[in-house]
A = this chain, B = another copy of it.
Amino acid sequence: MAVYTDVLEGDLAAFLSRYDVGRLLSYKGIAEGVENSNFLVRTEGGTFILTLYEKRVDRADLPFFIGLLEHLAARGLSCPLPVQPRDGRTLGELAGRPAALFTFLEGMWTRRPAADHCRDVGRALADLHAKSADFAMSRANALSVAGWRPLFRGCGAEADKVSDGLNAEIAAELAHLEANWPSDLPRGVIHADLFPDNVFFLRGELSGLIDFYFACNDILVYDLAICLCAWCFELDGAFNVTKGRAMIEGYDGARPLSDAELAALPLLARGASLRFLLTRLYDWIHIPDTSFVTKKDPREYLRKNRFHRGVASVADYGFQKRGAAA
């Protein structure tokens, strides 16, 4: 939940006066997004989401995020569309923060993903990759393989307090990934954080994607590896091959995966699980217990990483390329 900054009515009315949305009727802080403050705003012209960008988001990245959403929405991908003010400056300022107004997406994220959800997510991810292919801007992924060692170093020796022997286990895994990380796979804009709370469904169909604030340029299929980690494990820690198969099939049906991409997927999934293990571990160690932020257990991603280390090929995810030998 996240409303870090409150907004005065008069300031919001002044902010909205740049838009053709009619007069302000109400606004309420909502529990959505962890990096920014979000408000549901109702005006005579409709319902919108107002986002105030907090400190954790680099202002220099905002044109990339705003531009990407405009680019994707123009190509028919269902995502929050920055509303155009009369002066054309979609990025404004409110309560001392950069701020933007977005269209409101109906739909709900699913707390209990099933295989059909995973198939839809795979398909939507491939669609996102296809539609962002001609997006002109780029943004480096600070949380890709090159960023993990500094993050690990920042955890110091504290890792062993979270789980016995964790320090050595991460060190070995990190060394393996750094030595073997692929450099020749297709790259493009990835979402990089497509967890269940960032995907809306309505009447059984995927209705939209939100929260593009980790989007960046990286290996496309790494995005699929992240989704395998985020969607296809059960609460008891077991990987669900039915979901894994559905997700990879969904992706492959919309953007066919090459043999090289499929072969790399287990290693990329090791990387994806290590990335979330490291960020959670870092937060676990550095965020004081008195903070409002709910800290997520890093060990969930240690278990996922261990699973992916044991995967020999995408067959272990339940996937088999059509026409390939069993």
Q: A residues near B, CB below 8 A?
A: 1, 3, 6, 8-10, 23-32, 40, 42, 47, 104-108, 110-112, 200-203, 289-290, 292
Chain B contacts for A25, CB-based, 8 A: 106-107, 202
Bound Cα distance from A187 to B4, whole angstroms: 41
Inter-chain contact B23/A40, CB cutoff 8 Å: no
Are A108 and B30 neighbours in the complex by a CB distance under 8 Å?
Answer: no
B residues near A10, Cβ cutoff 8 Å: 112
Return 22 A-B CB contacts under 8 Å, by A number: A1-B1, A1-B3, A1-B29, A1-B31, A8-B111, A8-B112, A9-B108, A10-B112, A25-B106, A25-B107, A26-B106, A26-B107, A26-B108, A26-B200, A27-B108, A28-B30, A29-B30, A30-B31, A31-B31, A42-B106, A47-B47, A292-B292
Given contacts A9-B201, A25-B107, 11 further A-B contacts (CB under 8 A): A6-B111, A8-B111, A9-B110, A23-B203, A25-B106, A26-B108, A28-B30, A28-B32, A29-B31, A47-B47, A290-B290
Nearest-neighbor residue (CB-CB) of A10 within chain B: B112
On whether A3 and B28 interact (CB within 8 A), knowing A23-B203, A111-B8, A203-B23, the answer reads: no
Query: For the complex, what is the distance from the CA of A203 to the CA of B202, rounded to whole Å?
Result: 34
Residue numbers in B under 8 Å from A40 (CB-CB): 28, 30, 40
For A9, the closest partner residue in chain B by CB is B108
- Cβ of A104: which chain B residues have Cβ within 8 Å of it? 26
**Min CB distance, A291 to chain B, in Å?**
9
Each complex incorporates copies of this chain amounting to 2
Chain B residues near A203 (CB, 8 Å)?
23
| Chain B minimum-CB-distance residue to A110 | B9
Task: Determine the residue in chain B with the shortest Cβ distance to A7.
Answer: B111
List the B side residues contacting A107 at CB < 8 Å: 25-26
A240 to B292, CA, bound (A): 35
Q: Which residues of chain B are near A111, meaning CB under 8 Å? A: 6, 8-9
Tell me if A30 and B30 are in contact (CB < 8 A): yes
Q: Which 9 A-B pairs have the closest CB atoms?
A: A29-B31, A25-B106, A28-B30, A3-B31, A9-B108, A26-B106, A8-B111, A290-B290, A289-B290
The distance in angstroms between the C-alpha atoms of A92 and B25, with both chains bound, is 29
Q: Give the one of A27, A104, A201 with max B CB within 10 A.
A: A104
Complex partner residue of A24 from B30, B42, B108, B292, CB under 8 angstroms: B108
CB proximity of A73 to chain B, nearest CB, Å: 18
Chain B residues contacting A27 (CB-CB under 8 Å) are 108
The residues of B that contact A289 with a CB separation of less than 8 Å are 290
Output the nearest chain B residue to A12 by Cβ-Cβ distance.
B108
Q: B residues within 8 A CB of A32?
A: 28-29
Task: Report Cα–Cα, A3/B292, bound state, in Å.
Answer: 13
Question: Which residues of the other chain, B, contact A200 by a CB distance below 8 angstroms?
Answer: 26
Q: Verify B26–A28 contact, CB threshold 8 A.
A: no
The complex places the Cα of A10 from the Cα of B26 at a distance, in Å, of 28
Chain B residues, Cβ within 8 Å of A1? 1, 3, 29, 31
